[in-house]
């Protein structure tokens, strides 16, 4: 029965909300509450990641002198007082000396020498790119006492935005699955880290690419890369997908505009970063290269298994802000892992070239490869893959079971196992390495299953699956 025009005029906005809308509201509220509760145990502490973010934001906008306004000891790591956070990057003096010896003009060396890392706009994070300053500045949107609460709320709002985007542009099943994975895998980390930000931009880039809005897709992918370097590995897959869907000759300028946008954005932001601080711009790269194998990584699981087989005892050290493995086999395992990554990416590109895997599938597998082959697998890294996992798998029960177990094992590792003892004693807990290894091999199994699935797939089904 249709309402008359007069009846329609009297319908309130509340009456227009359907049962499905109420379900979405309840899911989002429950997700937000659980994510906040998951990180609430560390709020108000001065040694959390969000506390570090606040120090970086204050140092950038106001200089390190402004640390006096924050709780005592909170920003000692940024002043070089904590050996585990000391950057291996060359100092400004060393950079100036090197450039002078290389014959660089004096105006350039004088410009760099004037970049005092304690002054505002020159104090960049040791391990994060410049663009993250805007994310870290979210801690400054509330009084100091409530800064970590404000940051947690912002991250939960972004998780809500991802839910709504998946609901609008994929399916309700994908949105609900994403909320489930966020709670199961992001408990204790999602609202207390910034990794959901590059994950969100990666998802948004994929959604634009699926709609053939390539300029926006490459713009968003550039932003994701400038926040956390790992999305740069998705560039070849985006470029190949864009080239296969763009009409015209290969040498047409129109074909290369999206790539030009990506390169231009990266160059502009990196140029600004270099102008502000050469030392701070180079620091994240040296930080990444210098990091050893972290205890939760797939490489660490392999080292643990080798330790069991050979009896070669491995030790652990807290450096680079994480707990890492010291083993005589570390170099060999690291080389094998790197070869795995290169081989996996090349084979995946070949599958995409043949039309057997769509961009969404290629993005998911690439992110799984990054988690598997990286030297570090911090618990919050699982957030990188969750939105794409929900987008591809939606609410299919096999995906829900495997992905939920993967997320729950990650949460079992952190915060639950980590909070049982002193940090340096965590690897010696009987439950630690079996849990980590189970999680990592489940991740490996998921990646291999996807490789096998797409390898057997007929090219004609690709476009249908991507729609």
> What does the pLDDT look like over 323-357, one tens digit per residue?
999 998 999 999 999 999 999 999 999 999 999 99
Of 94-98, 209-213, 230-234, 353-357, minimum mean pLDDT range = 94-98
pLDDT at 290: 83
Confidence of residue 314 (pLDDT cuts 50, 70, 90): confident
List pLDDT tens digits, range 51-105: 999 999 999 999 999 999 999 889 988 876 555 555 567 888 899 999 999 998 8
Distance CA 8, CA 6 (A): 5
Asked if residue 362 belongs to a domain, the reply is yes
115-to-119, 267, 388 alpha-carbon distances in Å: 8, 20, 40
- SS3 label, residue 116: coil
Report long-range pairs for 204-208 (Cβ below 8 Å, ≥24 apart): 204/165, 205/231, 205/234, 205/238, 206/359, 206/360, 206/363, 206/388, 206/391, 207/165, 207/169, 207/170
Residue 457 DSSP class: S
Distance CA 330, CA 328 (A): 6
Distance CA 318, CA 291 (A): 11
Burial 78-100, CB ≥16 within 10 A → b, else e: beeeeeebebebbebeebbeebe
Distance CA 195, CA 205 (A): 16
User: How many domains, the chain?
Assistant: 1
Give the domain range for residue 445.
38-466
- SS3 label, residue 326: strand
Distance CA 287, CA 116 (A): 20
Q: Flag whether pLDDT at 461 surpasses 50.
A: no
301, two tokens: 């699981």
Asked if residue 7 belongs to a domain, the reply is no
Asked if residue 2 belongs to a domain, the reply is no
Of 319, 276, 323, 328, the C-alpha closest to 297 is 323
1, two tokens: 């029965």
Average pLDDT, the chain: 91
Asked if residue 435 belongs to a domain, the reply is yes
453-to-150, 187, 417 alpha-carbon distances in Å: 43, 31, 34
50-to-55, 138, 170, 384, 397 alpha-carbon distances in Å: 9, 10, 32, 18, 35
1 or 67: which carries more pLDDT confidence? Answer: 67
Q: Flag whether pLDDT at 196 surpasses 50.
A: yes
Instruction: Tell me what the mean pLDDT of segment 311-325 comes to.
Output: 87
Q: Please list the alpha-helical segments (H only) found in 246-381.
A: 253-276, 278-290, 298-310, 330-353, 359-373
Asked if residue 27 belongs to a domain, the reply is no
208 or 289: which carries more pLDDT confidence? Answer: 208
List pLDDT tens digits, range 272-298: 999 999 999 998 988 888 889 999 999
Asked if residue 12 belongs to a domain, the reply is no
List pLDDT tens digits, range 346-394: 999 999 999 999 999 999 999 999 999 999 999 999 999 999 999 999 9
Asked if residue 274 belongs to a domain, the reply is yes
Instruction: Tell me what the mean pLDDT of segment 48-53 comes to.
Output: 95
Distance CA 149, CA 50 (A): 10
pLDDT at 387: 98
- Gyration radius of the chain over CA positions: 24
Asked if residue 20 belongs to a domain, the reply is no
List pLDDT tens digits, range 111-156: 999 888 889 999 999 889 999 999 999 999 999 999 999 999 999 9
pLDDT at 233: 97
User: Taking the model in full, what pTM does it have?
Assistant: 0.92
Distance CA 193, CA 215 (A): 29
Q: State percent of the chain over pLDDT 70.
A: 93
For 132, residues 6+ apart whose C-beta sits below 8 A from its C-beta are: 56, 125, 194, 227
Q: Looking up tokens 């794409």, which residue turns up?
A: 388
Residue 294 DSSP class: B
pLDDT at 15: 59
pLDDT at 21: 85
pLDDT at 413: 96
Q: In 3-state terms, the chain is what percent helix, strand and coil (to 5)?
A: 75, 0, 25
Distance CA 272, CA 91 (A): 19
């Amino acid at each position: 029965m249709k309402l008359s025009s007069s009846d329609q005029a009297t319908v309130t906005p509340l009456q227009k909300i359907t049962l499905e809308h109420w379900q979405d509201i309840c899911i989002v509220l429950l997700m937000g509450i659980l994510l906040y509760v998951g990180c609430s145990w560390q709020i108000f502490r001065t040694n959390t990641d969000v506390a570090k973010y606040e120090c970086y934001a204050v140092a950038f906008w106001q200089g390190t002198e402004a640390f006096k306004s924050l709780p005592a000891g909170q920003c000692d790591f940024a002043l070089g007082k904590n050996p585990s956070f000391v950057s291996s990057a060359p100092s400004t003096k060393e950079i100036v000396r090197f450039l002078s010896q290389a014959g660089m003009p004096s105006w350039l060396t004088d410009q760099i020498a004037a970049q005092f890392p304690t002054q505002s706009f020159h104090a960049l994070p040791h391990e994060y790119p410049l663009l993250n300053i805007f994310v870290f500045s979210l801690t400054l949107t509330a009084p100091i006492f409530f800064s970590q609460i404000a940051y947690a709320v912002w991250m939960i709002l972004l998780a809500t935005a991802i839910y709504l985007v998946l609901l609008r542009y994929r399916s309700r099943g994908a949105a609900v699955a994403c909320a489930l994975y966020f709670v199961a895998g992001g408990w204790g980390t999602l609202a207390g880290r910034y990794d959901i930000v590059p994950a969100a931009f990666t998802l948004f880039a994929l959604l634009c690419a699926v709609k053939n809005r390539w300029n926006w897709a490459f713009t968003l992918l550039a932003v994701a890369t400038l926040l956390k370097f790992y999305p740069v590995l998705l560039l070849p897959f985006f470029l190949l997908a864009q080239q296969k869907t763009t009409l015209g000759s290969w040498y047409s300028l129109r074909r290369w505009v999206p790539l030009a946008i990506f390169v231009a954005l990266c160059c502009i932001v990196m140029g600004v970063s270099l102008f502000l601080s050469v030392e701070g711009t180079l620091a994240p790269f040296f930080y990444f290269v210098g990091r050893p194998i972290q205890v939760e990584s797939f490489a660490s699981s392999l080292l643990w298994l080798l330790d069991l087989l050979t009896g070669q005892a491995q030790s652990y050290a807290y450096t680079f802000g994480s707990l890492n493995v010291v083993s005589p086999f570390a170099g060999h395992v690291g080389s094998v892992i790197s070869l795995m990554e290169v081989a996996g990416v090349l084979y995946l590109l070949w599958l995409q070239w043949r039309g057997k895997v769509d961009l969404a599938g290629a993005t998911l597998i690439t992110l799984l490869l990054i988690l598997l082959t990286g030297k570090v697998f911090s618990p919050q890294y699982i957030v990188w893959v969750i939105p794409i996992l929900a987008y591809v798998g939606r609410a299919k029960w096999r995906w829900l079971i495997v992905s939920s177990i993967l997320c729950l094992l990650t949460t079992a590792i952190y915060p639950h196992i980590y909070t049982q003892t002193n940090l340096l004693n965590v690897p010696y807990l009987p439950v630690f390495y079996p849990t980590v290894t189970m999680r990592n091999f489940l991740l490996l199994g998921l990646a291999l299953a996807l490789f096998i699935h797409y390898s057997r797939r007929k090219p004609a089904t690709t476009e249908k699956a991507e729609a």
